[in-house]
């Protein structure tokens, strides 16, 4: 048995999307009502919380960029249209192309005297893994970053620019050269600029995708804009068309998160009403949970295991909710009995009624988790929540495991919110980007 001397967060949801409607704008609960909101997912300091999957926050997918990747850099200047990364095209229009493996393995051929375009000035270079982390503005490296770069996680390098007077539109390639332990690789995106970049439009910036494997601890980056009629410019000579201006490399300072989150789902067999009802742990549910947790947590992935089901025969509480205190105690004990590593996240899934509506007629408790303030407190890295439809299941899981990261509620119509959350109203506060959908999210999300 473990002690219960920790803060145990109880989460109530009333009538779909009601709880946060006053303080949290569009960031409401999911239509099923279970996706309680306001989680502060800054854990580890990296890719912050860009979690709103609703339609309201997203901006555009941009279009037109080509994207290539070459080890040697010899073909990096070509205006290759690349492949389209976003075949889903929910917003229509082709999206930025993702990196394409150009084959040959070795480095060493990255052009040391690239043909830098004349008449374009790099205004800013930013790194998006979830929230925007600006690396440099006006040619100067940002010293105090708003979040850390997460090692192992795919990134979008956005290059913002201004046009010089007399600029004539032409094809320009942004090259992001990533140096990992002396091995340099080039990732590119191509655009024909006709107007200065604006934050809310991906199609107004160069958008270079860098695979997670290249965002390594110790990696450094150098960005430059090249064109066929550009001027060969050796390293050491300053230019507005590259960052750092002299062609040197800026350390990404990528932080390792120690590998994917180890999430163990524990299906509870609901025997209380004699039904033996089990939550859905099918592939679609697992994929949805993995996608969501990977999106909202600054991690390089989530490894999910589904444990054998456990029986549950406890009555509901006087208010009609699952007794999550008791359930979390049980889950924590099971984690100990299983001999699971301290870092594993044990999450109980329970379906106390046939539908969410039956369980939650006007207000209900959807889940509960300990706030693991001390990372060494693995014994209480246990939480649980109701599991009805897939979206509710995933959002409740993401919320409760957020507490297991040591996170309190974001200031979003809650009385006991995290006093250190950096933005008001539980907003994400800076621009965000979701990789799989290639969508931007405004700071008001």
Q: Which single residue is written with the structure tokens 């800026």?
A: 250
Pairing mode, strands 242-243 and 261-270: unpaired
The CB-of-428 to Zn ion minimum distance in angstroms stands at 17
Q: Which of 357, 371, 373 is nearest to 320 (CA)?
A: 357
Q: Which of 6, 45, 9 is nearest to 373 (CA)?
A: 6
246 or 391, CB closer to Zn ion? 391
11 or 209, CB closer to Zn ion? 11
Structure tokens at 75: 């073909």
Pairing mode, strands 363-370 and 8-14: antiparallel
Structure tokens at 225: 């804009």
The CB-of-351 to Zn ion minimum distance in angstroms stands at 20
Q: Which single residue is written with the structure tokens 């046009």?
A: 163
User: What's the CA gap between 51 and 64, in Å, rounded?
Assistant: 26
Q: Three-state SS for 403?
A: helix
The CB-of-36 to Zn ion minimum distance in angstroms stands at 6
Could you tell me the sign of the dihedral formed by the alpha carbons of 50, 51, 53, 54, in that order? Answer: negative
The CB-of-385 to Zn ion minimum distance in angstroms stands at 10
11 or 58, CB closer to Zn ion? 11
Q: Which single residue is written with the structure tokens 């990747």?
A: 69
The CB-of-426 to Zn ion minimum distance in angstroms stands at 12
The CB-of-259 to Zn ion minimum distance in angstroms stands at 25
The CB-of-265 to Zn ion minimum distance in angstroms stands at 18
254 or 350, CB closer to Zn ion? 350
Q: Which single residue is written with the structure tokens 């899934």?
A: 349
11 or 123, CB closer to Zn ion? 11
User: What's the CA gap between 248 and 237, in Å, rounded?
Assistant: 10
39 or 71, CB closer to Zn ion? 39
Q: Which of 270, 262, 257, 290 is nearest to 346 (CA)?
A: 262
User: What's the CA gap between 150 and 209, in Å, rounded?
Assistant: 15
38 or 435, CB closer to Zn ion? 38
Length of the chain: 445
Q: Under the rule (CB under 5 A), what is the footprint of Zn ion?
A: 9, 11
Phi, psi dihedrals of residue 251, rounded to the nearest 5° = -65, 135
204 or 401, CB closer to Zn ion? 401
Q: Are 303 and 344 in contact (CB under 8 A)?
A: no
9 or 353, CB closer to Zn ion? 9
User: What's the CA gap between 315 and 336, in Å, rounded?
Assistant: 24
Name, in order, each residue with C-beta under 8 angstroms of 421's C-beta and a sequence gap of 6 or more.
40, 42, 410, 411
The CB-of-399 to Zn ion minimum distance in angstroms stands at 5
The CB-of-216 to Zn ion minimum distance in angstroms stands at 34
């Amino acid at each position: 048995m473990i002690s219960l001397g920790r803060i145990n967060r109880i989460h109530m949801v009333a009538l779909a999307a009601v709880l946060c409607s006053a303080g949290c704008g569009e960031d409401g609960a999911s239509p099923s009502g279970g996706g309680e909101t306001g989680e502060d997912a800054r854990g580890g300091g990296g890719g912050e919380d860009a979690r709103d999957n609703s339609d309201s926050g997203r901006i555009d997918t941009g279009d037109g960029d080509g994207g290539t990747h070459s080890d040697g850099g010899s073909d990096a200047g070509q205006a290759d249209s690349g492949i389209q990364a976003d075949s889903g095209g929910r917003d229509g229009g082709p999206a930025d192309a993702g990196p394409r493996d150009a084959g040959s393995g070795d480095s060493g051929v990255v052009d040391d005297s690239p043909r830098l375009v004349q008449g374009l000035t790099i205004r800013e270079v930013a790194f998006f893994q979830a929230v925007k982390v600006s690396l440099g503005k006006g040619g100067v490296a940002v010293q105090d970053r708003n979040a850390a770069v997460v090692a192992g996680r795919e990134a979008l390098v956005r290059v913002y620019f201004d046009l010089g007077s007399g600029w004539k539109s032409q094809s320009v390639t942004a090259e992001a050269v990533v140096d990992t332990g002396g091995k340099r690789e080039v990732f590119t995106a191509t655009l024909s600029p006709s107007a200065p970049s604006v934050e809310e439009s991906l199609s107004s910036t160069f958008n270079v995708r860098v695979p997670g494997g290249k965002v390594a601890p110790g990696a450094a980056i150098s960005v430059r804009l090249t064109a066929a009629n550009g001027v060969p410019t050796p390293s050491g000579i300053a230019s507005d068309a590259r960052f750092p201006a002299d062609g040197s490399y800026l350390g990404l300072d990528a932080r390792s998160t120690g590998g994917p989150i180890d999430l163990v789902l524990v299906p509870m067999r609901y025997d209380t009403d004699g039904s033996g009802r089990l939550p859905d742990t099918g592939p679609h549910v697992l994929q949805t949970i993995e996608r969501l947790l990977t999106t909202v947590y600054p991690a390089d992935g989530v490894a999910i295991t589904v444990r054998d089901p456990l029986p549950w025969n406890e009555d509901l509480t006087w208010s009609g909710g699952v007794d999550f205190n008791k359930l979390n105690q049980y889950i924590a004990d099971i984690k100990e009995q299983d001999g699971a590593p301290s870092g594993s996240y044990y999450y109980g899934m329970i379906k106390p009624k046939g539908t969410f509506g039956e369980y939650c007629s006007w207000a209900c408790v959807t889940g509960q988790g300990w706030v693991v303030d001390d990372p060494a407190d693995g014994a209480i890295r246990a939480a649980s929540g109701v599991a009805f439809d897939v979206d509710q299941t995933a959002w409740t899981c993401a919320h409760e495991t957020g507490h297991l990261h040591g996170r309190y509620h974001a200031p979003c119509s809650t009385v006991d919110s995290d006093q250190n959350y950096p933005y008001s109203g539980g907003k994400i506060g800076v621009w965000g980007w979701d990789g799989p959908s290639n969508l931007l999210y405004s700071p008001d999300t």
